[in-house]
Structure 1
């Protein structure tokens, strides 16, 4: 990838947690187009937490809030403990996010996967 955009996330490990296959796949492709190394995608809490404990540290994460009837909040807590910046993605109203996560960036579905991917370099730098 020779374009500047192709290097925005060069060698950044980004965890993707999304239970809808096509959304996860499109998001992963958008991140990879910017040079990211995608970890996952994980479709549930258990898989995401296993990835976080068994792989190299991730630089950032994208978490769908609702994962097959469970929330991604335990994953968010682990990322906070590890000092890893992340964003939430959701189709639910802002009130569905507990106040403890009020400062976490939130992308409301549907959104443009490329726009989300292009926002992550700032998150990684400022995280």
Structure 2
């Protein structure tokens, strides 16, 4: 199992592929990508340790706010990736990063690298 596990919760397969591609471009095979399209699948995926997550707000089975609250409580970095408005997010979750659709791969990469930076092994100073 990879040390870096990234959850992507997105019910549009094309958008999910865009996020997955952006993550893969940054991490290659160093990460395990878990891509799901429903709240139920996402909740099952959180049973194992995650490094970070990208959450669409409206997916199959409802909104991801309960999932986001669980990630927040567990200390797992996450970003909402949504066409919704940031004001639609409950106040308790508004400190989370919000990437509005359409997003850029740079936005995905910036959040990803910031979220996993404590997890990445430090490079040797002798390079």
Please give the range of the TM-score, normalised by the shorter of the 2 chains.
Answer: 0.7 to 0.9
* Structure 1 segments of 4+ aligned residues over 3 angstroms from their partners: none
TM-score normalised to structure 2 length = 0.81
Whether 1:70 and 2:70 are equivalent positions in the alignment is no
Task: Count the aligned residue pairs.
Answer: 116
Over aligned residue pairs, what C-alpha RMSD do you find?
Answer: 2.1
In 1, Cα distance between equivalents of 2:64 and 2:111: 21
Runs (5+) with no aligned partner, structure 1: 1-9
TM-score normalised to structure 1 length = 0.81
* Further displaced range: 31-40 or 103-112: 31-40
Q: Partner residue of 1:121?
A: 113
Runs (5+) with no aligned partner, structure 2: 119-127
Q: Partner residue of 2:44?
A: 50
- Kindly indicate whether the alpha-carbon contact (under 8 Å) linking 1:31 and 1:114 is maintained by their aligned counterparts in 2: no
Q: Partner residue of 1:31?
A: 23
